[in-house]
Amino acid sequence: MIILAAKLTFGDLADKVSVVSIQGDVTQSIVDYAHTNGIDLVIMGSHGLGAIRDRLLTGSVTTRVLHHIQIPVLVVK
């Protein structure tokens, strides 16, 4: 439901937006998928459900992706 709503937000650009679900190490899976599939832009949330705990103990997925990926990342609140 959330994914469909997000894709509808893009209107005429919806056919250029891909939504995928991948299993594995989150950071490495995102980086590998983007590289392998020629992705132009990764859009990620600024924090997840455990925002404070995750940032203090392990760092957020978004932060780790930003440090390991070679393409633009749009971080949304």
State how many domains the chain has: 1
Tell me, yes or no, whether 43 lies in a domain: yes
CATH number of 25's domain: 3.40.50.620
Tell me, yes or no, whether 8 lies in a domain: no
Tell me, yes or no, whether 2 lies in a domain: no
Give the residue numbers spanning the domain of 22.
18-76
pLDDT band at residue 57 under the 50/70/90 scheme: very low
Tell me, yes or no, whether 33 lies in a domain: yes
Over residues 49-68, mean pLDDT: 70
| Terminal C-alpha separation, the chain | 19
5-55 per-position pLDDT tens digit: 766 777 777 777 777 888 899 999 999 999 999 999 998 887 666 555 555
Tell me, yes or no, whether 31 lies in a domain: yes
- pLDDT for the residue numbered 70: 95
* Main-chain phi, psi angles of 43, to 5 degrees: -110, 125
Tell me, yes or no, whether 11 lies in a domain: no
Tell me, yes or no, whether 12 lies in a domain: no
